[in-house]
A and B are shown apart, each in its own frame.
Chain A
Amino acid sequence: MTANGQALDGLVAASDPLSTRTAFKNLNVLTRPIVSYAPKTLWELDTAKLPMSLARLRRRARDFADKVLVPAALELDVTPQPPLGQWNPRLREVVSQAGRRGFMTDMVVPPPMGTAIVRGDRFPVWAIAVKTEEFSRACGGLMLTLMVPALGQCPLLFSGDVNALRRFLLPAFREIKAGEPHPFSFAITEPTAGSDVEEGHGASVYDPGVVAKRANGGWLLRGRKRFIGGGDLSKTIAVFAALEGEGMESWTCFVVQPGMAGFKPVRKELKMGMRASGTAELEFSDVFVPDTHIVGGLRQGWALNRATLNFSRIPVAGMGVGFARAALEAALEFACSTRLAGKPLVNYQEVQLMLAQMVAETSAIRSMVWQQARTLAPRQGAASMTKLYCTDRSLEVCNMAMDLMGNHSLLHANRAEKAFRDARLPIIFEGTNQINRLAVIEDMQEEVLAKCLP
């Protein structure tokens, strides 16, 4: 990386005696190694800070994103969703390639069943957050298609239910690694309940929208689930339902699969962004689910749901980092390729200021994600604060990019507006950021209450 003696307006060239690059090289031989450094890209600098296995993952994920996701992103963003249950062929190919390269079986299960690298420095949440950043930076809709299955796998993994793993996860992993898509979904949201199913206070008074009624050898599920990522294509859906006559505390996780009588995806949503990924409403009309499809036991659903959200909200924050980076990169490209009065925009101070702010914001939220992801068991408060802060700031970076690009930011081909539309969703899903703020306080209640005591 060299600038060949050139400098942006208002700044000294790296070869100038006043540049730190040059000045540091002239220091004493003992101090030089401490302060001097070679130029590197921001991405290289950040990657170097990761544990080795995660750095390797980040490189692989970026390579995959650049070669497979970026070329498909704009097309899939504007192509109407195919009818329910049908794949867009290009999307299917992306999913197939991701599966073959081990990106959809690498959460925690090591080879030969899965593709996870199990090492002391490879925290699963961190690994997923690294992937969500790289994939989101390429395309929100494709990222969601590739990452939602991990969400659907979580209840199965957290259940510790060997039967569920053997019965549902391992055969699916075999398909995925062979290039045959096997999407998983996580079905908690109901038509009249978004936030109620994501926080305890609301759930305590909510009438469950999907109810399981006892039948011979199993349960009959009735009701609807809404806004289910990849729901119409999913081959394994973790459906949460309350037991008949009981409240949300009876929530149980059932595995529903296409072809079960009474199960039907009924519609797909028309979304603002993340449009490569289908979002479906699912109908359950007395769907018979055998006892063997219960995950983790009766009345364990609420705990599995909350554990899943604690696990997934930090990677959702990672999505925010990816969208911020997408916006930043789009703005930087524009600032270098667009000229005003004979020179690229990046030479103007107001443009440099905006870019620097975007770099700082993106770096700050990435630091938060990586700091909070360094754990095996994310706490509710940590997961929620990371999710709400990073996704909010991410949208602000998208706004900055659009402001930098002016009315050119409205053009789809320039990608900044797509980053905005994609970045807007994580502020709503996995609990609105308002609900996540309350989750932070809820999780520190003991500390708060102790201060309230006389």
Chain B
Amino acid sequence: MKKTAQDFEAFIAPYLEEAPPLQGLDTRIADLEIDSLSFLEMIQAIDDEYGITVNLDQITDDHTLRQLYERFVQ
């Protein structure tokens, strides 16, 4: 399974395509221009793709997508 940051960024891109994050993986979750339903879909897809369960008690929307990647996927 491909687990590089670039792969992760490519994997989540379809969920963010309506408003691509300007700073890529360094965009804060709070700054993503998606609603919480779309974010839910993205998290569920990450869980399925990487065989993990993102522990949502360990992140806030102040974290960046990169921190989400480093903490749970890498």
Indicate, yes or no, whether A interacts with B: no
